[in-house]
Amino acid sequence: MKLTELNVLVTGGASGMGKAFVMAFARDGANVAFCDVNEEGVRAVESEAAELPGKVVGFVTDVSDEEQVTALVKDARAALGNLNGLVNNAGIFRDGLLVKKDRETGEVRKMALKKWNQVIAVDLTGPFLCAREFAASVIENDDGPAVIVNISSIARRGNPGQTNYSAAKAGLVADTKLWAQELSRYKIRTGAVAPGFVRTPILDGMRPEVLDSMLKMVPLRRAAEPEEIYLAVKFIVECDFFTGRCIDVDGGMTV
């Protein structure tokens, strides 16, 4: 698929990787609808993208809310004329060990169910809702060929302190494969990208010594730039023979 023929919806597009995807797609000539829960951030990205070749329009949406997602896909399609691309990027962290014994008191602390539910709701249920409504829209309106790109993580292999996040990101890769099988008959391809450490505001906010320790685990000894993750997303969009697979972009790191 040529990027100049792409009308794409990007979730979590007001900051970090999502914002980089929005801006890069629009620079490459695609039309972009994006959403985020941060209204101020949404408006700022719209303003910043105003002079780019592709049209950019933003929506304030919680991807874990079924009614909001249904409205989002309808509104995004109406704003762009049709919709043939989806990037499931929105995600959150609520890290913590499954259980941990306090060295001083002996108390066993457990990961709160609230933390599990929050991450699963945004990082797994959100992509499910967005993919479901997007696929239905493509089929109902004959908008194909189309493509779904899921942003997973190298934590999909299991990362200590991220029971909830690892489960969500592993589930997203599994869904990528099965959606490829289910949706190919409708000319909808799927793909996933699993980034390692990426230079975003979250990473930049870490203490330098902590960040340095993390990056020592990466053979390339640095974090990725968001634009480097976009290159993998762009490949999936442009390669019409790619579907059902996950691309790791992690600098050679395995967790």
Q: pLDDT, tens digit, for every residue of 72-100?
A: 999 999 999 999 999 999 999 898 999 99
Burial of 35 (0-12, 13-18, 19+ CB in 10 A): buried
State the amino acid at position 255 in one-letter form: V
Tell me if the bond preceding 53 is cis, omega within 30° of 0.
no
pLDDT of residue 4: 96
Tokens of 143: 């908008």
Residue 183 lies in a domain: yes
Q: How many other CB atoms are found less than 10 A from the CB of residue 123?
A: 27
Query: Given this model, what pLDDT does residue 208 score?
Result: 82
In a domain, 195, yes or no: yes
Q: How confident is the model at residue 255 (pLDDT cuts 50, 70, 90)?
A: low
**Residue with more model confidence, 154 or 36:** 36
- What domain range includes position 36? 3-249
Domain assignment of residue 52, yes or no: yes
Backbone torsion region of residue 56, taken as left when φ is above 0, otherwise alpha when ψ lies between -120 and 50, otherwise beta: beta
Domain for residue 255, yes or no? no
Instruction: List strand residue ranges (DSSP E) for 89-225, in order.
Output: 99-101, 108-110, 146-151, 188-195
pLDDT at 7 over 60: yes
The answer on pLDDT for 5 being more than 90 is yes
Catalytic residues, by residue number, are 165
The number of distinct structural domains making up the chain is 1
pLDDT score at 218: 86
Residue-wise pLDDT for 198-253, tens only, equals: 888 777 777 788 778 878 888 888 888 999 999 999 999 999 999 999 999 999 88
Residue 254 lies in a domain: no
pLDDT single digits (tens) 117-162: 999 999 999 999 999 999 999 999 999 999 999 999 988 888 888 9
Find the CATH number of the domain harbouring 95.
3.40.50.720
- Provide the whole-model pTM: 0.93
Within a domain: residue 66? yes
**pLDDT at position 63, please?**
98
Among 85, 92, 80, residue whose Cα is nearest residue 21: 85
- Is 94 a domain residue? yes
Radius of gyration of the chain (CA): 18
